[in-house]
Structure 1
Amino acid sequence: MNESSVPRIPSGQAVIVFDGICVLCNGWVKFLLRHDHAGCYRFAAMQGASGRALLQAHGLDPDDPSSFLLVDAHGMHTDSDAIVRVLTGLGGGWKLAALTKVVPRALRDTLYRAVARRRYRWFGTTSCTVPTPAQRARFLD
């Protein structure tokens, strides 16, 4: 993969790479579209060219659907740290999500991985979220 295939992230924004066929993951994206009033987060399905390129550029397997990646001005974040960082980035009462950091990361990530392994079975699969015309600019692919 060449450097030019990795999407550039605009200043002040972050990109979330998510599993585009997972019902739970698509629900997460819809939740963020509703609650990210500042429009800080952009989205890339791991099945798309941008999502795959970002995963590979950060040393993650683009064929591992349990991957969850947040890339922001502070670097890359995965698993429970990424989720907490996204939630606190929403501001307001969502900043309370930072309290979960009192739980050791190893335990938080174990729980994250347990849900990630079972999410297709528990929630099912679907096609990628189809953004409205107003939301389209928030998606990389």
Structure 2
Amino acid sequence: MGPTVTEPWPDDDVILYDGVCLFCSHWIRFIAARDHGRFRFTAIQSDYGARLACHVGIDPADPDTNAVIHGGLAHVKSDGALTALSLLPGWRWVRVLLSLPKALRDPVYNLFAKNRYRIFGRSDVCMMPDAALRARVIG
């Protein structure tokens, strides 16, 4: 489970996501419903999210992955998704999937990411979280 960037980010347990991607918005709600308040979230379209994206090497204008900051380090693509899942209560078993080579995991992730708008759709604006989730969003 190697991080992508070795420069620490000052905030921990933050998930960067594409706020106009309908799948990504559902992903954030899925995590938030299960994480007992562990994570905070930021859309790549926000000022904070764009700065974080640039820090970890993601183009804010054309995001092809999410990022999970854990332990101060960025995890992207399949590492990010599996890291977030493995930190949820009852989902620790997902860590086993991190032992699979990235060369196998990331092409599957990339295929999904490339087609996410076509399959799930996109919104013209970022999702509006409910009050509980809004308190965990970094803008």
Q: Using structure 2 for the length normalisation, give the TM-score.
A: 0.86
For residue 91 of structure 1, report the CA deviation from its aligned partner. Answer: 2.5
For residue 98 of structure 1, report the CA deviation from its aligned partner. Answer: 1.2
What amino acid maps onto 1:68 in structure 2?
A: N
Give the 5 Å matches for 1:26-45: 26-37=25-36, 39-45=37-43
Q: Using structure 1 for the length normalisation, give the TM-score.
A: 0.85
Give the 5 Å matches for 1:1-141: 8-9=10-11, 13-37=12-36, 39-92=37-90, 94-126=91-123, 127-141=125-139
For residue 8 of structure 1, report the CA deviation from its aligned partner. Answer: 4.2
Please tell me the root mean square deviation across aligned C-alpha atoms, in Å: 1.5
- In 2, distance between residues paired with 1:100 and 1:57? 26
- Could you list the per-position Cα deviations for residues 21-74 of structure 1 after superposition, in whole angstroms to 9, with x for gaps in the alignment? 11110110110111111x111111011111100011122222222121111224
Percent identical residues: 36
- In 1, distance between residues paired with 2:18 and 2:40? 14
For residue 95 of structure 1, report the CA deviation from its aligned partner. Answer: 0.7
- In 1, distance between residues paired with 2:117 and 2:63? 10
Any conservation in 2 of the 1:14–1:41 contact (CA below 8 Å)? yes
- In 2, distance between residues paired with 1:61 and 1:44? 15
- In 2, distance between residues paired with 1:40 and 1:34? 10
Any conservation in 1 of the 2:20–2:126 contact (CA below 8 Å)? yes
The aligned residue for residue 3 of structure 1 is none
- In 2, distance between residues paired with 1:24 and 1:120? 8
- In 1, distance between residues paired with 2:98 and 2:133? 31
For residue 100 of structure 1, report the CA deviation from its aligned partner. Answer: 1.2
Any conservation in 2 of the 1:15–1:41 contact (CA below 8 Å)? yes
The aligned residue for residue 4 of structure 2 is none
- Structure 1 residues without counterparts, runs of 5 or longer: 1-6
